[in-house]
Amino acid sequence: MSQFQLHDSQRRATVPFEPLDPGHVRVYYCGPTVYDVPHIGNLRAMLTADILIRLLRQLYPRVTFVRNITDVDDKITARAAANGEDIGSLTARTTAEFHAGLAAMNMVPPDIEPRATHNIGEMQAMIARLIKQGHAYEAEGHVLFAVASFASYGALSGRDPDELVAGARVEVAPYKRDPGDFVLWKPSTPEQPGWVSPWGRGRPGWHIECSAMAHRYLGESFDIHGGGSDLLFPHHENERAQSLCCFPHGKFANYWLHNAMLLVEGEKMSKSLGNFYTLSDVLDKGPVEALRLLLMSAQYRSVLNFTWSGLDEARKTMDRFYRALETAGPPDVSGRSVPQAFLDALCDDLNTPKAIAEMHVLATAALAGDQDAAADLKVAGEMLGLLTQEPAAWFRGGTAADGPSEAEIEALIAERLAARKAKDFVRADEIRAQLTDRGVTLEDGAGGTTWRRA
């Protein structure tokens, strides 16, 4: 079996992955705060998780994938008020949009998807335990984690606590013992969501949510905790601190995985810059598999620059892969293992660019008629969530921006056939030229006329 090497953020090195239980690998990933439609920046972390889980399931007999939904947060409350919308309606709608987007992207769903609002009791139990153990304290209706009580605070992000606080947004409050202390529980006004607790009606802080859900579904120790690099501090640092203090005999996460951020046309994505794109914005201009390929074109720890020209190039690459499958004939993939060179590439810290390069090698052989290479290409592609269609369906697919609709094309082909039967070859040639100009290629054969988008 290939040895999986993973870059662990805490060790700050790429190291062999050694599961706590080789028979059952457990992974926790930070999911969305559901107050807005998903954008393409959200997709990078979700796709990194997708590739990770696909690989782990290839290597190990059982994998449990937990990804949470944060459905109580001050951003949610503010957005609902701005919309004049009930909080429950907002979170239900945006959660459905998130699920629909990931399904459209052919993402592996989590085995367990806990919601914060369904785990308030678990959060309160952790907070009470932290208070009892001397790691948290009550102050003016709040409960705060005492950072000074945890000697290795900052070990995950690799900086000392003073530097961390100086470089981050921290809430300055007179009731804090230390500026870096963070909220576990806070009081709610009548207009804010709240739950009865030993410390008064209130709501949880963000960080305690993931610790409680990870503990409930994966235990005191699990294998991998993942998310975007923007979560490294303070969210993951604080999760680690409160979890290890609450359960000192556990490891919490044994490995930490963080993907780098996504740029759009070389700049940070921002509504003010006009480069803020939702998933539907992108899928209006290119197919899902092209977007998946583009997002995998850089290794997950490298900054990825999304461009429309890059999406076009990714689509051309997918054209090549599908052309290879078409040329070699329908591949027989029954019982076929994932190609070793391709698997080795993914085992090298999810090196998707190297894996894609291996697919190009297979495509070259398949284009020369090698059916074994075509079968290997199909298996490799499917492991990355690609090559899920028949070639004919891929080449007929497209978006509104790609030219005429399928119904319009079929109507023109029928008109061309009628013109040929009437020996009006001038009109038949005009129709062919018209479709060619609009990006549609006709191919006449013994079985009739077929078409593909160029």
Q: Which amino acids are annotated as binding site for Zn(2+), given as ranges?
A: 30, 210, 235, 239
Alpha helices, H only, 147-236:
161-166, 206-218
Cα(88)–Cα(71) distance, integer angstroms: 9
N- to C-terminal Cα separation, the chain:
41
Q: Return binding residues for ATP.
A: 271
Length of the chain equals 454
Q: Any bridge partners for residue 63, and if so which?
A: 25
Distance CA 433, CA 57 (A): 49
Residue 119 DSSP SS3? coil
Token pair in block for residue 226: 């993942």
Can you tell me the distance from the alpha carbon of 244 to that of 426, in angstroms, rounded to the nearest whole number? 79
Q: What are 357's strand-pairing partners?
A: none
CA 350 to chain centre: 14
* Binding-site positions: 30, 210, 235, 239, 271
- Give the separation between CA 306 and CA 209, rounded to whole angstroms: 32
Give the long-range contacts of residues 397-406, CB within 8 A, separation 24 or more. Answer: 397/287, 397/453, 398/287, 398/453, 399/283, 399/284, 399/285, 399/286, 399/287, 400/284, 401/284, 401/285, 402/439, 402/453, 403/438, 403/439, 403/440, 403/453, 404/435, 404/438, 404/440
